[in-house]
Amino acid sequence: MSDPEPRPNGDSGAVATSLKDVAARAGVSIKTVSNVLNDRPHISAGTRERVQQAVTELDYRPNPAAKLLKNARTGIIALAVPDIELPYFAELAAAVQRAAERIGRTVLLDQTGGDPEKELMAAKGFRAHLIDGLILSPLALQPEQLRECASSRPTVLLGERFYDAAVDHIAIDNITAGRQAVQHLLSRGFRRIAMIGEDDFYRGPVALRKQGYLEALTAAGIEPDPVLMRPAGHFRRFDGMRAMDELLAAGTPFDAVFAFNDTLALGAMRSLADHGLRVPEDLAVVGFDDIEEGRYSTPRLTTVSPDKTGIAELALERLAGRLSGDLTAEPGFVPAAHRLEVRESSGG
C-alpha cells in the first residue's frame, strides 16, 4: 500500500517517495513507519532511528491533505488569549510556540479581547477543520460552557483558577503569589501598602491577587484601607499611571504599592517620577508577571514571576496526552510554579 497521493518531491516530474519506500529502506512495516511519523509510543529507539534515517535519506515529505483525510489530524493547535498586546500574553504565546515546535505542532493564535462571544467561538472551534486541540486563557466563559467545549475537542485552560470545571487547567496559585508579594513589602518595613488592579475586565486574577493582598495585611494586623485600592482599566501602562496619579491626589499616606501586573507597575513608576518621587527611596513598587521590560526598567522591577516556559510545556504535554489517548487521568487542575523576583524597585 503506497502513500495515497504521490506528488513531485522537488524536481519536476519526479514521483514522491512513499511510505512503502521508507518502510523498505528501514526494513520495517508501513504501519511502523506511520507510527514513528505520528510519534506514537511503544516504538523502540533503534526502530525509530532507522525510520527517521530512511525518511531523511529518501527526503520523504507527507502530504498534509492526505494526512488530514486519513488521520483527522492537522498538527495544528489553537492558542486563544485575551490581549496579545499585553507583554505577558505575548511572552506566553512565544513560550507555547516554542514548546509546540519541539513536538512538531504548529500554533494558530487568536485574540479574544475577553469578549464572551469571541471566547465561545474559539472554544467551540470555529476553525474546527483546522485544529486538533485548543489552549485557551478565558475571562468570560462560565464553567458549564467550558465543560461543553472541552467535551468536543481536547482543551487546556490557562490563567487564574477562579472556577471549578472538569477541564485541564494550568495555573499558578495566585492567592499565594499575591500574599507573598505583600509579605515581601511588609518584611522591608512598609506598612501603608496600596493596591492597583481593581477591575471587572480581569475579574479572575483581580479576585485572587486581591485576596492574597488582603490576607497578608490582615495577618500583619493592618486594617486594609479602601482608599488605597485603585481600579486599573485594562492593565496597561496608562492605567497604572492614572491610578498612581489618583492615589497621590487623594492625599492618603502610603509607602508602597502592589500592582496586579508589570505594565501597571511600570505606569505607576512613571507617575512617581513625574511627581518627583524616587523608587524605592520614597515608595516601593512590586508588580506581577515578570515581563522582560521590567528587568531593564529604572529601577529594575520586583515582581511575581510565573514560570511561563513551564506553563507552556505543561499545557502542550496535557494536550498531546489527550490527543494521543495516552493521558487517562480525569481532567483537572495542574499547578504551575512561580517565584518572587526581588529587584531594585522594592529595595532589593
- pLDDT for 250 equals 95
- pLDDT for 203 equals 66
Question: CA 66 to CA 254: how far, in whole Å?
Answer: 65
Question: CA 152 to CA 133: how far, in whole Å?
Answer: 10
- pLDDT for 9 equals 47
Closest CA to 259 of 171, 181, 166: 181
In terms of CATH architecture, what is 174-306?
Answer: 3-Layer(aba) Sandwich (3.40)
Q: What are the C-alpha distances in Å from 294 to residues 290, 298, 302?
A: 7, 8, 8
Q: Give residue limits of the domains in the chain.
A: 19-71, 76-172+308-337, 174-306
- pLDDT for 66 equals 47
- pLDDT for 205 equals 67
* CATH T-level assignment (fold) for domain 76-172+308-337: Rossmann fold (3.40.50)
- pLDDT for 161 equals 67
Q: Where are the alpha helices (DSSP H) in the chain?
A: 19-26, 30-37, 45-58, 64-71, 87-102, 116-124, 143-152, 174-187, 203-219, 237-250, 262-274, 292-296, 308-324
* CATH T-level assignment (fold) for domain 19-71: 434 Repressor (Amino-terminal Domain) (1.10.260)
- pLDDT for 4 equals 41
pTM reported for the whole predicted model: 0.77
- pLDDT for 10 equals 42
Mean pLDDT, 10 residues at a time, the chain of 348 residues:
42 63 90 81 84 88 52 81 94 96 92 88 72 89 80 86 78 96 98 90 77 97 96 91 97 97 98 98 98 98 97 95 86 94 96
